[in-house]
Amino acid sequence: MILSYKFRLYPNRAQAAALDGMLVAFCDLYNAALQQRIEAYRRQGRTLRYADQAAELKAVRAADGRLAGLSFSAEQQVLRRLDKAFAAFFRRLKKGSKAGFPRFRAKSMFDSSEMRVGDGLTLRKSKRLGVVGIPGEIKVKWHRPLPENAKLGAAVLSRSCDRWFVCFQVELPDVEPRQDFAPVGIDLGLSALVALSTGETIPTLQITRNAAAALRRRQRKLARAKRGSRGRKIARRSVARFQAKIAAKRRDGLHKLSCELTRRFSHLAMEDLNVKGLARGMLAKAVHNAAWSTLAGMIRYKVERTGGVVVLVDPRGTSQTCPECGLVAAKALAERIHRCECGCVLDRDVAAAYVILRRAGFQGPGTGLGTPSQRVAA
């Protein structure tokens, strides 16, 4: 099992400038490699591969003093990054979808570099980070320890809003399956972010809505700033940092919720939603704010880490089906209470969670309808 552990870095001014320079050099290498591929095909009809360009890397390093002082393996990863972009382009072209030819990258948008632990990047005894081409050791905020029995593979250095991070890919041994059986059905929604087959509902995080006024003020200030001025640069940075703060708060709330669910339940049933399709409709803003994909991804990897099971079911008709008798009856989106001829009266989202649980085939204590206290009064 491979997990990612992300930590904040605190470089000093000289180190931050060197890290910025490293990304600029890697961006130039990426763009030069892309230009070489374009020219080779245009003039000779030849398609260059990673191996062709990697064979020339030593000569390129000798001609460019910036690259000569940086990690060779990190520069290879830059070429692999371009190779993956072309592989994705040809894959989309073959499918007949919008291809999207690989584009040249702006220096301000090239904000990450992959390295190998023990090669371009090392963990020092001082618990600080050593990076080839960067002076001294970089301070790391270890907000949680790395697993003792883990194998460190790749690491990604990234920059976001003038802040630096390192993300380690950690390989862990497979865990033993959980011996308990605590199933639950989960329905993701907008009025309630999560509805459980236990009868509980968890409201949607209103982080974006609560911060909307403050974000608009910053965006207006950015719009009024003169292009190319120092004030516009400061305003752009203020907007980016505020948006990053909102995203961090959302991730924190989703992490806490997913941890609670995976701690309480061993077998989780969820809908296999097409979130991209839903995000193109009239409720796009609400869908993005709810962050269903992020929450579902967190639940899946945390369940795997604890030895649990996640089953994805067909989402069609879950909110139109009665969990007691199975009768399918169309309901308008405004109807928030499920009422059936058989006498079943439940919160609409909770009823959908029961249906999801049964579609997953989880049977056992607590998987049927709950006590009368879990029902919604008519």
List the catalytic residues: 187, 271, 349
Pairing of strands 183-188, 192-196: antiparallel
User: For residue 252, how many other CB atoms are within 10 A of its CB?
Assistant: 12
CB 204 within 8 A of CB 128: no
CB 157 within 8 A of CB 121: yes
Pairing of strands 129-131, 345-347: unpaired
CA 161 to chain CA centroid, Å, is 17
DSSP letter for 372, please. G
CB 155 within 8 A of CB 324: no
Alpha carbons 172 and 150: distance in angstroms, whole number: 5
Alpha carbons 350 and 337: distance in angstroms, whole number: 9
Sheet bearing 309-313, strands edge to edge:
201-203, 192-196, 183-188, 267-271, 309-313
Helix (H, G, I), strand (E, B) or coil at 71: coil
Query: DSSP per residue over 267-309, as a string?
Result: EEEEE---HHHHTTSTTHHHHHHHTHHHHHHHHHHHHHHHT-E
- Cα→Cα distances 6→3, 141, 145, 155, 165, Å: 10, 10, 11, 9, 7
